[in-house]
Amino acid sequence: MLKVVTLFVIAICAAALRLPYSSDGVAFAETNTNQGLQSQSNSVWGQMESYMMELQAEDPDNVKVEILKNLKPCTKCDAPKRYGETNDGGYAMCSELMENTAAGYSVGVSGYDGWGEDVSKKFNIPIYQFDCTNSKRPKCDGCDFKFYDFCITAEKTRPGSNNFKTIKELMSLNGHGDRGNTKDLVMQIDVEAYEWDLFADPTTADAMLEFSQVSVEFHDILRQIHKYEKHGLNITLETRLKALQNLNKQFVVAHVHGNNARPTQQVGNYSVPGLLEVLYVRRGLSKESQCETDPTYWKEDARNVLKKTESEPPHLP
């Protein structure tokens, strides 16, 4: 309780220190006094953020709810279309945003890539494939596939192996990564939980400016799975929340679909499939709408595991 009261007091102090803003949103910083106040304000807000992290650590259910809030779809596709396999390996995307695509990135292919085949043939573009766990090259007549024996990693948690590269390093192999806000690439990424550290790393964000759509499979949204620890992954709830927040700065969730290979996970009255395919669209490319707490599946969706019942759609806060 004391920490909550302290946080409230800090918030009041911080509010008192915040600088006035002009009508066009530009802070008045004309005097040294104001600059000093700004420095004090930044310091207080830093303390407030520290207290927030402590409170979150003491209340993991609160962090879980925040994770689910960041998964709500807030835009729609005009013409959704499935690319890839009929079941596992296929992903529904916004076809109306694919026409000007220059290349596709398929990260985590495990010997097959129906998504890459569909996208390469449909739009006559190269697909850059990455997987260091399975050296089998996906085959496709009439496709432009370029395969690399690399896996993707976050800069801060890079394993010792030279087979792990950051997203910027992977993109630089193909003349991408430093072109700014081009929005002419698409990506599917399924990397068995490495996605959390990857997107939680703020250095990943710069490279994402070149993508118009990204389909991510998130592994174990709310539950700690110890099998990842042997690979050097300590996927905390805070890491997962930061990953989603970073993605939501430049992208907006357009669609979610549960992979029925894992059971539903819950916090309170809310629920989410343990494996969740999430389609992100760059902000500004589609009209944003009221965010959905009970998103529905599309007819383009399909069961990942054919012999199991479809997962229930999430119920989000």
Residue 309, domain member (yes or no): no
Residues 245 and 71: their CA atoms lie apart, in Å, by 9
Judgement on whether residues 140 and 257 belong to the same structural domain of the protein: yes
- Are 210 and 184 spatial neighbours (Cβ–Cβ below 8 Å)? yes
Tens of pLDDT, residue by residue over 267-294, are: 999 999 999 999 999 999 999 999 999 9
The domain tally of the chain equals: 2
State the pLDDT at residue 15: 41
3-state secondary structure 289-301: CCCCCCCCCCCCC
Residue 293, domain member (yes or no): no
Average pLDDT on 117-138 reads: 97
Domain span at residue 6 reads 2-58
pTM: 0.81
- Are 73 and 292 spatial neighbours (Cβ–Cβ below 8 Å)? yes
108: left (phi over 0), alpha (psi -120 to 50) or beta: left
Judgement on whether residues 195 and 79 belong to the same structural domain of the protein: yes
Residue 304, domain member (yes or no): no
Tens of pLDDT, residue by residue over 31-40, are: 444 445 445 5
- Are 199 and 243 spatial neighbours (Cβ–Cβ below 8 Å)? yes
Q: Tokens 């054919």 map to which residue?
A: 306
Q: What is the CATH number of the domain that holds 243?
A: 3.40.50
Query: What is the per-residue DSSP string for 216-232?
Result: EEEE-SSS--GGGGGGT
Judgement on whether residues 20 and 96 belong to the same structural domain of the protein: no
Encoding tokens for residue 314? 């999430």
Residue 317, domain member (yes or no): no
Instruction: Give the model's confidence band at 157: pLDDT under 50 very low, under 70 low, under 90 confident, else very high.
Output: confident
For the chain, the helix, strand and coil percentages under 3-state DSSP, each to the nearest 5: 35, 25, 45
Residue 113, domain member (yes or no): yes
Judgement on whether residues 116 and 227 belong to the same structural domain of the protein: yes
Judgement on whether residues 16 and 146 belong to the same structural domain of the protein: no
Judgement on whether residues 17 and 118 belong to the same structural domain of the protein: no
